[in-house]
Chains A and B, each alone.
Chain A
Amino acid sequence: MSETVQFGVVLVIVAGAVGFVIRRAWRKHRGQAPACGSCERCQHKRG
């Protein structure tokens, strides 16, 4: 696997991770995601 291909794959993975973190923070801010994700009690926000 060439270095260019490796760099491309890595770039996609890192961009995906950044997107995931930003989306999660935004959804939490909007109250669309569980507050903590650590327990079942707050998995359910008001519908």
Chain B
Amino acid sequence: MSAAPGRPKQARAPSGGSDVRAATSVGAQVDISGLAQRRLALLGNPNCGKTALFNRLTGSQQKVGNYAGVTVELKRGLMKTAAGRSVTVIDLPGTYSLNAGSQDEAVACGVVLGHSLSERAPDLTAVVVDATRLRRGLRLVAALRRLQVPMLVLLNMMDRVRAQGRSVDAAQLARTLGVPVVEATGIRPEGTDALRQLLDDDTLWHQPHPASQTPLSVESQARADDAQAQAWLAAAGLDQPLGEHAWSRRLDRWLLQPVVGTVVLLALLFLVFQAVFAWAEWPMGLIEDGTTAVGEWISAALPDGLLRSLLVDGIVAGVGGVLVFLPQILILFFFIPVLEESGYLPRAALLLDRLMHAIGLSGRAFIPLLSSFACAIPGIMAARTISDRHTRWTTVFIAPLMTCSARLPVYALLIGAFIPARKVGGLSLQGLVLFGLYALGILSAVAVAWVAKQWGRARGQAGPLMMELPDYHWPRAKDVAIGLWQRALIFLRNVGGIILALTVILWALSSFPVAPAGYTGAPIEVSLAGRIGHALAVLFEPIGFNWQIAVALIPGLAAREVVVSALGTVYALSQTGDDVGTALAPLIAADWSLATGLSLLVWFVFAPQCLATLAVVRKESGGWLLPVSMAAFLFGLAYTAAFITYRLAAAWGWA
């Protein structure tokens, strides 16, 4: 298809006739550099809504959150102007000034000022200003104007200004600033129409661009920029600060109070873990019944042989065993976006700042550590927002101790097998144990950080936390639903991808070589996997692991959930009778002692059973020292803790 005459070539439109083109939708790895010659950078303070605007302009679905530091590296997408011209949009991490304090700020400043080696300077910079916090946003405008960077100003969150019964005259502000000013609302479909029209103005794109700029001294520059912002506001009649939500202030009086706030935080976490078990029972039963029925149907339809074994003992037993945990993962990830969107998370960071300082970190480490509950990898990447070197690497070091979502299927399997489903004081005992496992991870991270603080005391202290507290919002049901849908897709993609592939490979290793004629034991015993498992069992015997666990831990290095599917396959092949459809939990409950179950739980709290995490640490640190020492330390810690747990449980008579 040829492009219309006189217009730049357009990217292929998605179905639905949207006026934007998603160049980088979730999961797509599209190199769009060079598609559009005109390049627009979105620059602004943290949490001013840049990524929401980026998503609205480009049709992307980048993560947004009601707190600072969500975006830690630049992202590109393609948008169309009102006249249909293509523009590359660059979403930058938030920054308060052009003097970078942390690595993410350095990325933003480097691109806009033309210092970046990997990214050409944008033709135009759109400074996104939170209209409810004009003065702070205009400081950045002042800094850019002083450096003569071609720009326009996007007044975002105008809906909130209007909700407060106030107004900001964009035209008056534009006359005062001497640059185009347009209103925008990132969360509404029509919120970017004015910008799309403005970007068709060719004169905007042909402003003289300065050569690579170097900012002046930090102190004098900050004072000058602030004075300029104040002068602009006075000239535009906007020097009366807009009030923040009264009920946000009232809520904060309680939620930031050290004692009440901590109790509320603990109660919230408690509720989440109770819900994970209490709400998931019914859908989990449905999935379990479904996989059993599929296994029985295949068994009936196919003759006994290799293919039936692969499908029933390998794929259904292995993959079905992981799939059953989808409801629990979705329940956990229902609460996380709700807390993010509501604006509660930065309050929790502030609340924990004192504790963080006591262990040598700062509240700034809270967001990376919180991200690590989903997956350690984004948490480790988010640690770029920490400017203090010692604090950053300590945060990276302890991030894998936060309980990531991949551990949840393992915990749920073992808790379901070994902890009775009864109530203690009206609370689910299984939920309490899950809470305890999460708490164990957090407490061990605290201990490691405290030790690191003693070791690194001479290297400086973490700076004070300066974090903006956004107003509370009701989470939008659509955002939460999209988040849950994406989470389900990611889980299912993993189940249908790496988990399925590793399960098939493990089935093959567990089925060949075939047992000799007349062999009376389970054929897996003489297979390659069985032999490897028996060899490794010597290493794991002191901590109570049998050879089946030893086998399952190896593919589990690719993704922790694979341990569950691997155990499913190994145990399905270990059965000598007709045990099709037998759930994994009762099988391991019958085969393992309680001491072994507890030991494996503790192993998973500490062990860095994730090669991808170690690879990212290597990439972030630029060397092997940190990932190798991290792996050695955490495996050592896991082995020691599992050993102590197993021996104590054995002494208690649970072996």
Contacts and interface: CB of A to CB of B under 8 A. Distances in A.
Interface of A: 1, 3, 6-7, 9-10, 13-14, 16-18, 20-21, 24, 28, 32-47
Contact of B307 (A9, A24, A42): A9
Contact of A45 (B29, B307, B308): B29
Nearest to B76: A47
B486 interface: yes
A20 B501 contact: yes
Given A20-B497, A36-B613, A39-B377, 18 more contacts: A3-B305, A6-B307, A7-B306, A10-B307, A10-B310, A14-B310, A14-B505, A17-B500, A20-B498, A21-B558, A36-B612, A37-B494, A37-B559, A37-B612, A38-B490, A39-B490, A41-B378, A46-B74
B306 A3 contact: yes
Contacts of B75: 44, 46
A8 B486 CA distance: 36
A42 B612 CA distance: 12
Nearest to A3: B305
Contacts of A14: 310, 504-505, 507-508
B371 A41 contact: yes
Contact of B494 (A13, A38, A43): A38
The 8 closest A-B pairs by CB, nearest first: A17-B504, A38-B375, A36-B377, A17-B501, A6-B307, A41-B378, A20-B501, A14-B508
Given A24-B498, A40-B63, A1 B303 contact: yes
A38 B380 CA distance: 14
A43 B378 contact: no
Nearest to A33: B29
Contact of B32 (A34, A38, A47): A47
Contacts of B33: 47
B404 interface: yes
A45 B29 CA distance: 7
A7 to B, nearest CB: 6
B646 to A, nearest CB: 29
A34 B493 CA distance: 13
Contacts of A1: 302-303, 305, 307
A32 B497 CA distance: 16
Given A13-B310, A21-B502, A38-B494, A6 B612 contact: no
A27 to B, nearest CB: 9
B24 interface: yes
Contacts of B539: none
A42 B377 contact: yes
A37 B74 contact: no
A23 B311 CA distance: 23
27 contacts: A1-B305, A7-B306, A10-B508, A14-B310, A17-B508, A20-B497, A21-B498, A21-B505, A28-B615, A34-B27, A35-B377, A35-B612, A35-B615, A36-B616, A37-B494, A38-B405, A39-B374, A39-B378, A41-B63, A41-B371, A41-B378, A41-B381, A44-B24, A44-B62, A44-B75, A47-B31, A47-B76
B369 to A, nearest CB: 15
A13 B311 CA distance: 10
A3 B375 CA distance: 44
A1 B93 CA distance: 59
A9 B615 CA distance: 35
A43 B375 CA distance: 12
Contacts of B615: 28, 35
Contacts of B23: 47
Contact of A17 (B24, B74, B502, B616): B502
A25 to B, nearest CB: 9
A1 B310 CA distance: 15
Interface string B46-89: 00000000000000111100000000011110000000000000
Contacts of B371: 41
B588 interface: no
Interface in B1-58: 23-24, 26-27, 29-33
Contacts of A16: 501, 504
Contacts of B406: 38
A38 B404 contact: yes
B375 A21 contact: no
Nearest to B333: A39
Nearest to B75: A44
A10 B504 CA distance: 9
Contacts of B310: 10, 13-14
Interface string B294-323: 000000001101111010000000000000
A6 B75 CA distance: 48
Given A37-B493, A38-B406, A38-B490, A43 B502 contact: no
Contacts of B508: 10, 14, 17
A43 B616 contact: no
Contact of B490 (A13, A18, A40): A40
Contacts of A20: 497-498, 501
Interface in B479-520: 486, 490, 493-494, 497-498, 500-502, 504-505, 507-508
Nearest to A10: B306
In this complex, which of B61, B381, B501 has the most chain A Cβ atoms within 10 angstroms of its Cβ? Answer: B501
Contacts of A21: 498, 501-502, 505, 558
B113 to A, nearest CB: 19
A9 to B, nearest CB: 5
B578 to A, nearest CB: 19
A35 B302 CA distance: 39
Nearest to A19: B501
Contacts of B497: 20, 24, 37
In this complex, which of A16, A24, A40, A42 has the most chain B Cβ atoms within 10 angstroms of its Cβ? Answer: A40
Contacts of B559: 37
B374 A38 contact: yes
Given A40-B26, A42-B381, A35 B307 contact: no
B27 A43 contact: yes
Contacts of A24: 497-498, 501
Nearest to B613: A36
A36 B371 CA distance: 13
Contacts of A17: 500-502, 504-505, 508
